[in-house]
Structure 1
Amino acid sequence: MQADFSYELVFDSAGFQLAITILADREPVGGQLREDAEAAGFRILECCSLDEFASGASGALGDLVLVDCAEADAAVVALLSRLDMRAGKSGAQIVVSTTMASLDAVFGCFAMSGAQILVDPCRAERVIAIGRVLAHVPNLRLRELAEEDRLMLLRLTEQVGKIAERLEGLSPGQREGGGAFRFESPTQTFAQQGEEYSASREKPPQLPAGDRIRRMIQARQLRARFFDAELFADPAWDILLDLAAAKSERRRVSVTSLCIAAGVPATTGLRWISQMVDAGLLVRIPDPHDRRRAHIALDDTTVDAMARYFEAIGVTAEELLAV
């Protein structure tokens, strides 16, 4: 049975039907996006290629912008950056489909709008992305679906739900009984100088050498030879380990590389990265040589937390790692 994803028409607070702009160079994908957008209750404001939109034939931007970008040359990157700026100012939401080869260039374009970026998505994943947008519109009702369609939607949304659940409530810095970081209070020693006392704290731990962290990563990956890899899927920790090793090696990490290190599908890895940036665990760093690109790194507080973790398990900058 063909799934019916149709919603009732969606309206804003003023009673106007929400509009959508669809930009796609691949005709089959553009056709699917149009069908799904209409089924979701949006009014099609524009449906054209990226080049046509960039030519200025239409200056309007919908409440939702769906973009299919398989290749990101200089002209496309410039257009995406403008869309990000316009959406960031207007409040429009953006969903971008791209390929693994173009991920770094596309990711670097979106810093203001909070765009959903999908990597080599299937049609169902695009529908789910539209559904996440509709989730913020009140009083919507999804038509009844067959049981197998319900199960399909449940599986597709499960990963997003897990990310939100595991990272819910995380915030930068320290919080009593919660938060992204939990630190023990540093001990203090006192040195007597005549009648005066000076308090000095222990030197904060440093990250171990990158190759030692890499050995931990390799040991984690080795489990997949003997067990189902999904049993040990922990993308957040794999991301932290990879970035810790890169920090120790003074090496920059691209988004594409980090998605691979996460050990999950690229779109899922990208969601984890975005959530961890929002939680203050990671930071987005513009490429100093190419402002259209961005790298991901550990926040300074996260570096300290990772160093304390390695010290707690006996892996320090001074000690050898025993695997």
Structure 2
Amino acid sequence: MQADFSYEPVCDGAGCQLGVTILADREVLREQMREDAVAAGFRVMECCGLDEYASGSVGSLGDLVLVDCVAADAGVMALLSRLDMRAGKSGAQLVVSTGMDALDTVFGCFAVSGAQILVDPGRAERIVAIGRVLAHVPNLRLRELAEEDRLMLLRLTEQVGKMAERLERLSPGQRAGGGAFRLEAAADAWRAAGDEYVAHGGASPRPALPDASVIRAVIRNRQERARYFDPELFADPAWDILLDLAAARAERKRVSVTSLCIAAGVPATTALRWISQMVELGLLLRIPDPLDRRRAHIALSDDTADAMARYFAETRAAVAAPMAAAL
């Protein structure tokens, strides 16, 4: 796929063209990323393999950093963590592509920069990710845009808006002035207890979640629909994520990012976007692995667990009432 759109050069407030750093070991992919970044209006500052960049002198980081990382050994993890810290301080935008095998490791390296993480993406997905970066550049203008492309962008904008609205409605106890894309640290404190995560903090009593077997049965029933209907008819990643994490909390188990992406029932890149937005909202918590601080797990916040417990309590009561009346 050849990028068939062209932007005016992307410039900062001083009129300087923004730069891009491209890091990829696969040469063909590296050249594709270069072509697409240039077509989008960026100036290429660096384009090389990960090891080459890591071994070179530390220079300025591009305003956009495109990284392809299919395997993450200790050296690569160290580089990714440095990029995360530098981008977090400088405001650079990171777009990182990886595979499912390396997802947990790569995800754990990015805690502060808000990196877009793509899983086994095609070229089109990378272009969309660059487009999301461009959406935050003020006064950007397209030189040429076909009508069908314009309609596609409108549909994408509408979908993102609907996603934000759905998450806003899901958020329990939304803080005054908070929006669907509000960045805020989680208020709950967590500690590791053996292989479990135990929440502590708020004094208000919370109803207990049902037994994990009850929640797993709900998940199995949802999955059973795929035997009879197209699964895309019922795609609801936010709810599937909440159900899986509720079951894991009842089982007192940790959940990896890879496992949660599978449970979401949508492509992994899409699942990661939902997870990121739900973490930003405070619905979910990102918890560093106590045995390896470079890795992270995902869990329900206490408020979200409370909302899920109340949901199950109310739905069980609604089912039990007609049954009792019939006796």
The CA deviation string for residues 137-196 of structure 1, in whole angstroms up to 9 with x for no partner, is: 1121123334454566567666545423422587663569x989xxxxxxxxxxxxxxxx
Say if 1:125 and 1:156, in contact at 8 Å, map to a contact too. no
Counterpart residue number, 1:116: 116
SS in 1 for 2:7: coil
Partner of residue 60, structure 1: 60
Match of 1:227 among 213, 226, 229: 229
- Which residue number corresponds to residue 135 of structure 1? 135
Q: Distance in 2 between matches of 1:225 and 1:3?
A: 38
Alignment of 1:210-249 (within 5 A): 210-249=212-251
Aligned length: 295
The one-letter code matched in structure 2 to 1:21 is: T
Distance 1:203 1:58 in 2: 52
Q: Which segments of 5 or more consecutive residues in structure 1 lack a partner in the other structure?
A: 181-200, 316-323
| Aligned residue among 248, 255, 258 for 2:257 | 255
Q: Deviations over 1:284-315 (max 9, x none)?
A: 00001111100000001111111111100117
Distance 1:117 1:2, change over 3 A: closer
Calculate the aligned-residue CA RMSD, in Å.
2.6
**1:54 offset after TM fit, Å?**
0.5
2:299 aligned with 1:290, yes or no? Answer: no
| Partner amino acid, structure 2, of 1:110 | F
SS in 2 for 1:67: strand
1:203/1:174 Cα in 2 relative to 1: closer, same or farther (>3 Å)?
A: same
Whether the 8 Å CA contact 2:257–2:298 is kept in 1: the answer is: yes
Q: For structure 1, which segment, 274-283 or 219-228, has the greater mean C-alpha deviation from structure 2 after superposition?
A: 219-228
Q: Which residue of 2 aligns with 1:264?
A: 266
CA distance, structure 2, for counterparts of residue 38 and residue 172 of structure 1: 43
Contact 2:172 2:307 survives alignment (8 Å):
no
Q: 1:85 to 1:2 in 2, by over 3 A?
A: closer
**Secondary structure, counterpart of 1:94 in structure 2:** strand
CA contact (8 A) 2:109 2:295 kept: yes
- Indicate the SS of the match to 1:138: coil
Structure-2-length-normalised TM-score: 0.83
User: Retained in 1: the 8 A contact 2:3–2:36?
Assistant: no
Asked whether the 8 Å contact 2:216–2:247 carries over to 1, the reply is yes
User: In 1, are the aligned partners of 2:24 and 2:30 still within 8 Å (CA)?
Assistant: yes
Q: Kindly state the Cα deviation for residue 32 of structure 1 after the two structures are TM-superposed.
A: 0.6
Per the TM alignment, residue 207 of structure 1 is displaced from its structure 2 partner at its CA by: 0.7
Q: Any gaps of 5 or more consecutive residues in structure 2?
A: 181-202, 318-327
Query: Match for residue 46 of structure 2?
Result: 46
Distance 2:275 2:250 in 1: 20
Deviation at 1:42, TM superposition (A): 0.6
| Structure 1, 49-58 or 286-295: larger mean CA deviation | 49-58
For 2:244 and 2:156, how far apart are their aligned partners in 1?
27
Tell me how far apart the structure 2 counterparts of residues 287 and 105 of structure 1 sit (CA, whole Å).
Answer: 11
Other-structure match for 1:100: 100
2:275 paired residue number: 273
The answer to whether the 8 A contact 1:69-1:98 is kept is yes
Describe the shift of the 1:151–1:52 C-alpha distance in structure 2 as closer, same or farther (beyond 3 A).
same
Q: Deviations over 1:193-248 (max 9, x none)?
A: xxxxxxxx996420111111100000011111111111111100000000000000
Q: Which residue of 1 aligns with 2:27?
A: 27
Cα 1:274–1:240 change in 2 (3 A) is same
Give the Cα–Cα distance (whole angstroms) in 1 for the partners of residues 315 and 167 of structure 2.
24
8 A Cα contact 1:4 1:145, kept in partner: no
Cα distance in 2 for residues equivalent to 1:156 and 1:203: 41
Letter in 2 for 1:75: G
Q: What code does the residue aligned with 1:252 have?
A: R
Q: Which residue of 2 aligns with 1:5?
A: 5
Which of the pair is proportionally richer in helix? 2
Q: In the aligned structure 1, how far is the partner of 2:156 from the partner of 2:205?
A: 47
The letter for the 1-side match of 2:107 is F
Larger Rg: 1
Q: 1:312 aligns with which of 308, 311, 314?
A: 314
Please state if 1:15 is matched with 2:15.
yes
Shift of 1:3: 5.0
CA–CA separation in structure 2 for the residues paired with 1:245 and 1:136: 37
Amino acid at match of 1:289: L
Contact between 1:3 and 1:146, CA under 8 Å: does it hold in 2?
no
Instruction: Give the TM-score normalised by the residue count of structure 1.
Output: 0.84
Work out whether residues 128 and 156 of structure 1, in 8 Å CA contact, stay in contact via their aligned partners in 2.
no
